[in-house]
C-alpha cells in the first residue's frame, strides 16, 4: 500500500471514529499525522481552525494571548469575550473556559467545526494548559471537535476521556483500542491493580495491606491515570491548600511510603516527569474496562455482546469507592458513564433477542446508578406494559415522580402522558 492509500485510510478512520468525539489525538507514532492536518486545512467539507504552539507558549496566559493574536487576523472579533472577563475573575479558570466556549460558538456560528492544536508537545511542561484543555473538552458542545497533533503523548487522562466517549486515539489508519499508555504488562514483578470498588493492589499474587495511610495508595492510582505526571500536578491534586514547599515535602514523604509498601521504586523520575516503573508488569482493571468499551462500540466486531458484558462484569463498584478527592470524583463520573453505556447497549441487545425480562433488569440497573435518566424510565414503563404488568408500570411512575419532586426535578410531560395512557 503506497503513501496515498495509507493517507486515504487514515482520513477514512478519522472521519468515522471522530463522529462522537470531542477530542481526537493523532498519536505521535503516526507517520501521516501532519498530512492529515494538511488535508483538514484544505478540506472544503469542514470548517477548520488552526493554531500551532510556539516556543513562548509556556503557560496558559501566553497560549491564550497567542491564540487571540493569530486568529484575530482572520476573525477580528475573536477574543472579545475573553478580553472582557471582569478583573475580579481574572484568575478564575472557569471564567476563562466560559469565555472560550463563547468564542468557539461564535466561530462555529451554528456549523460543525474542527479546531487543530498543532505542535502540542511545546506545552508539555505547562500544567495550567493541560488542565485548561482537559476541562474545556469536558464542556465542548456537540459539533465542536479539537484535534491534537504533537511529537509526544499529551499529559491528559485519555483513558477516562475515552470511557465517557469524549476522546479517541488514532495511529495512522488504526484506532487505538487497548494499551493506551503502553504500560508494561510482561515482567518478573507482576502487579494486579483493581480500582473499581475500594481499590486494591496485589504484588505477585499477594495483597498489599500496609500503606501507612491512604495517600501512598492513592498516589499510585493517580500516576496510573495519565501517561506521565509532574510533581506540581500531583501536589495540586493532593495538597492544594499547602504552600509549594510544604506540598513538595509531603509529596516526597508519601512517595517514600509508596516505595516502602511495595519494597521497590514504584515511581521513576525521568526528564522532569514521574511515571510507573517500567520494570513492573501492571494488569489494571480500568484499562481492561475501557478496552472492552471500545470493543463494544466497534460496529464491525462480531463479539460486541461479549465485550459489553465484559465491561459490565469488570465494573465492580464506583472508581476508588469511599474517597472524595476532586480528581477521583471526576474519574468516577467518567467511568460510570461508560458503565451506563454498556448496560444500556446490553439491554437493547436483549430487546432485539426478544428477552424483555433481561432487558428490564438491565434498565433497572441503569436507574440505580442514575435515576434522572428520562429515556430509561420510559423504557421501563413500556416494558412493564408490554409484559402485561401495567400496575408495576404505574407504580414505577409514582416512585419516579416522588423522587423527582424530592430532588427538585420536573416530571417530563412525555412520561406523564405515557402514564395516563397506561392507566386509562
| Under 8 Å between Cβ of 258 and 210 | no
The CA distances from residue 286 to 319, 375, 389, in Å, are 9, 28, 39
Nearest Cα residue to 107 out of 65, 147, 74, 61: 74
CA distance 255 to 251: 6
| Under 8 Å between Cβ of 224 and 214 | no
Q: Is residue 360 part of a domain?
A: no
What's the domain count of the chain?
3
Residues near 376 by Cβ (< 8 Å), separated by ≥ 6? 344, 363, 366, 367, 370
pLDDT of residue 1: 59
Q: Is residue 342 part of a domain?
A: yes
For the entire predicted model, the pTM comes to 0.92
Q: Is residue 358 part of a domain?
A: no
Q: Are residues 60 and 163 in the same domain?
A: yes
Q: Are residues 181 and 323 in the same domain?
A: yes
Nearest Cα residue to 392 out of 347, 423, 424: 423
| Under 8 Å between Cβ of 278 and 293 | no
Q: Is residue 363 part of a domain?
A: no
Q: Are residues 98 and 40 in the same domain?
A: yes
CA distance 67 to 61: 10
10-residue stretch averages of pLDDT, the chain, 424 residues long: 84 90 94 94 89 94 94 91 81 88 94 95 92 93 95 91 94 91 76 95 92 94 92 94 96 96 92 89 94 95 96 97 95 96 97 96 96 95 95 95 92 94 89
We report the CATH number of the domain holding residue 62 as: 3.40.50
Domain limits for position 52: 3-175
Q: What is the full DSSP assignment across 160-193?
A: HHHHTTSEEEEETTEE--S-TT-----SSEEEEE
3-class DSSP assignment, residue 18: coil
User: Taken in order 130, 131, 134, 139, is the CA torsion positive or negative?
Assistant: negative
CA distance 61 to 123: 12
Q: Is residue 364 part of a domain?
A: no
| Under 8 Å between Cβ of 230 and 127 | yes
Of 128, 143, 175, which residue sits at a domain end? 175
The CA distances from residue 195 to 108, 260, 266, in Å, are 39, 21, 17
Of 175, 210, 245, which residue sits at a domain end? 175
CA distance 46 to 65: 26
Nearest Cα residue to 165 out of 22, 26, 340: 22
CA distance 394 to 380: 11
Of 175, 205, 239, which residue sits at a domain end? 175
User: Helices in 172-303 by DSSP H: which ranges?
Assistant: 215-224, 231-238, 244-262, 285-297
We report the CATH number of the domain holding residue 331 as: 1.10.10.10
Q: Are residues 306 and 340 in the same domain?
A: yes
CA distance 339 to 407: 23
Q: Are residues 111 and 229 in the same domain?
A: no
- Which region holds residue 95: left if phi is over 0, alpha if psi is between -120 and 50, else beta? alpha
Q: Are residues 311 and 397 in the same domain?
A: no
- In this structure, the number of other CB atoms found within 10 A of the CB of residue 178 comes to 11
For the chain, first and last CA: distance in Å? 65
Q: Are residues 214 and 103 in the same domain?
A: no
Amino acid at each position: 500500500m503506497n503513501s496515498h492509500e495509507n493517507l486515504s485510510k487514515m482520513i477514512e478512520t478519522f472521519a468515522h471514529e471522530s463522529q462522537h468525539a470531542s477530542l481526537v489525538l493523532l498519536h505521535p507514532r503516526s507517520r501521516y499525522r501532519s498530512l492529515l492536518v494538511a488535508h483538514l486545512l484544505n478540506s472544503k467539507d469542514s470548517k477548520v481552525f488552526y493554531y500551532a504552539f510556539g516556543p513562548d507558549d509556556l503557560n496558559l496566559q501566553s497560549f491564550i494571548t497567542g491564540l487571540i493574536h493569530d486568529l484575530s487576523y482572520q476573525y477580528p472579533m475573536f477574543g472579545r469575550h475573553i478580553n472582557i472577563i471582569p478583573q475580579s475573575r481574572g484568575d478564575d479558570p472557569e471564567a476563562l473556559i466560559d469565555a472560550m466556549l463563547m468564542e468557539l460558538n461564535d466561530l462555529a456560528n451554528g456549523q460543525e467545526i474542527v479546531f487543530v492544536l498543532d505542535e502540542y508537545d511545546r506545552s508539555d511542561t505547562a500544567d495550567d494548559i493541560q488542565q485548561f484543555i482537559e476541562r474545556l473538552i469536558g464542556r465542548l458542545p456537540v459539533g465542536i471537535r479539537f484535534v491534537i497533533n504533537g511529537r509526544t503523548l499529551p499529559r491528559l487522562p485519555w483513558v477516562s476521556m475515552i470511557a465517557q466517549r469524549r476522546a479517541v486515539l488514532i495511529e495512522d489508519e488504526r484506532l487505538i483500542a487497548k494499551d493506551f499508555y503502553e504500560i508494561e504488562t510482561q515482567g518478573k514483578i507482576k502487579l494486579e491493580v483493581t480500582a473499581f470498588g475500594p481499590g486494591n493492589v496485589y504484588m505477585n499474587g499477594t495483597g498489599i495491606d500496609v500503606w501507612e495511610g491512604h495517600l501512598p495508595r492513592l498516589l499510585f492510582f493517580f500516576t496510573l491515570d495519565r501517561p506521565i505526571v509532574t510533581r506540581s500536578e500531583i501536589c495540586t491534586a493532593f495538597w492544594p491548600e499547602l504552600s509549594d514547599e510544604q506540598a513538595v515535602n509531603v509529596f516526597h514523604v508519601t512517595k517514600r511510603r509508596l516505595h516502602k509498601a511495595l519494597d521497590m521504586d514504584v515511581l521513576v523520575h525521568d526528564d522532569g516527569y514521574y511515571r510507573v516503573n517500567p520494570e513492573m508488569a501492571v494488569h489494571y482493571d480500568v484499562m481492561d474496562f475501557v478496552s472492552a468499551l471500545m470493543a463494544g462500540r466497534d460496529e464491525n466486531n462480531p463479539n460486541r455482546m461479549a465485550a459489553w458484558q465484559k465491561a459490565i462484569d469488570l465494573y465492580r463498584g464506583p472508581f476508588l469507592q469511599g474517597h472524595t478527592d476532586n480528581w477521583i470524583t471526576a474519574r468516577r463520573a467518567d467511568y460510570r458513564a461508560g458503565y451506563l453505556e454498556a448496560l444500556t447497549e446490553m439491554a437493547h441487545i436483549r430487546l432485539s433477542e426478544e428477552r424483555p425480562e433481561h432487558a428490564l433488569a438491565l434498565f433497572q440497573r441503569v436507574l440505580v446508578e442514575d435515576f434522572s435518566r428520562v429515556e430509561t424510565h420510559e423504557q421501563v414503563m413500556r416494558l412493564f406494559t408490554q409484559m402485561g404488568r401495567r400496575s408495576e408500570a404505574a407504580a414505577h411512575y409514582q416512585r419516579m415522580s416522588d423522587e423527582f419532586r424530592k430532588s427538585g426535578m420536573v416530571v417530563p410531560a412525555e412520561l406523564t402522558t405515557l402514564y395516563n395512557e397506561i392507566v386509562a
